[in-house]
Homo-oligomer: A and B are copies of this chain.
Amino acid sequence: MIVILKPHSDPEQLNSLIAWLEGKGITTHLSMGEDHAILDLMGDTAQLDADLIAALDIVEDVKRVREPYKKASRKFHPEDTVVQVGNTQIGGGSLTIMAGPCSVESEEQVVAIAKAVKASGATMLRGGAFKPRTSPYSFQGLGAKGLEYLKAARQETGLPIVSELMDISQLPLFRDVDVIQIGARSMQNFDLLKAVGRQEKPVMIKRGLCATYEEWLMSAEYVMAGGNSNVILCERGIRTYENYTRNTLDLTAVPVLRKLTHLPIIVDPSHATGKSALVDPLSMAAVAAGCDGLLIEVHNDPAHALCDGPQSLRPEVFDALAKKLFKLHAAVAELNG
């Protein structure tokens, strides 16, 4: 951490700051110039509150040199994390395809879709039981019953299931769910993050609508700080001024996160764009960018889906896409040597 001091700072206040820092085990190094002075802090600076220091009278600005996350950082954990889910692995070179309906509507529906996507090569089944809806008047999901239908579909197909947890009170219902999804709107629900950090199920954290990479990794850090290191990150589009699509898919996140963290990275082109016609080209792009997997909405009757219909693929369209994606993944792996 670097503290930029105001010109002509009061030496007494400066000494008192240095003493306070040294009391916390921080080593300081002062560099004094004509128009500014900087204080270079070394040691465990993650414990320091940069804003607090910036508020001091003698301080002009504070700049971090190191990231504020540790457990999620590749610097301290160079090898890729591979998350084991049922009989499948997320990360470590394989391509995970999580597919299924946005909303679980009935056992019949979800079992039919699960069979279809499994036949196409999907490795996990996704489906929403608790739905975060902008309007209190919209369908809010089947809740516990929806989770039961998902489990029935798992029973039929062997596909592990992933579903969104919206509130701590629902956690007991998720004991038999394979991966707990934290939705974009909950990415900074810190109590929820702590709660899923205290249990062992893998957690997939979707990126908040306007979350920076650092904030997203700090949310992963919350879960990992609680003791659960089975964390998966899912890019699902960010909010920008462009409103032709629902959000703007940020594929740069894939190589950037690859560098910053050891956690697996999934891409969700369905929610990002809200348009099923864009799922194919953007899934291809995500695989070529090096993601570990995709989250794709599939619905056997998209036009009558109870929610998010426009972004779902029909099973036959998904089938063609999934086949292409596995081939592309193999081709890219070969090209990247």
Contacts and interface: CB of A to CB of B under 8 A. Distances in A.
A51 interface: yes
16 contacts: A2-B2, A49-B306, A51-B274, A51-B307, A60-B65, A63-B63, A68-B135, A133-B190, A135-B218, A136-B194, A186-B189, A210-B210, A245-B252, A284-B289, A285-B286, A327-B331
Nearest to A34: B42
Number of this chain's copies in the complex:
4
Q: How large is the interface on A (under 10, 10 to 19, 20 to 34, 35 or more residues)?
A: 35 or more
A152 interface: no
Nearest to A246: B51
Interface in A169-196: 169, 185-186, 188-192, 194
Contacts of A335: 284, 324, 327-328
Interface stretch (A85-93, A119-127, A154-162, A233-241): A233-241
Given A47-B137, A132-B188, A167-B192, 20 more contacts: A2-B4, A38-B65, A46-B137, A49-B306, A49-B307, A54-B309, A68-B134, A134-B215, A166-B191, A212-B242, A238-B240, A238-B242, A245-B256, A248-B252, A251-B282, A254-B285, A255-B278, A285-B285, A324-B335, A327-B335
Nearest to A328: B335
A52 B335 CA distance: 31
The residue in A56, A166, A327, A331 that gathers the most chain B C-beta atoms within 10 A of its C-beta is A331
A15 interface: no
A14 interface: no
Interface of A: 2, 4, 27, 29, 31-36, 38, 40, 42, 46-47, 49, 51-52, 54-57, 60-61, 63, 65-66, 68-69, 132-140, 166-169, 185-186, 188-192, 194, 209-210, 212-215, 218, 221-222, 225-226, 238-245, 248-252, 254-256, 258-259, 272-274, 277-278, 280-282, 284-290, 302-310, 312, 324, 327-328, 331-332, 335-336
Contact of A239 (B54, B192, B241, B281): B241
Contacts of A194: 136
A244 B256 contact: yes
B286 A55 contact: no
Contacts of A210: 209-210, 239, 241
Secondary structure class of chain A's binding surface, majority of residues: mixed
Contacts of A69: 135
Contact of A278 (B57, B61, B167, B256): B256
B190 A189 contact: no
Contacts of A186: 189
Given A46-B137, A49-B307, A136-B225, A255 B281 contact: yes
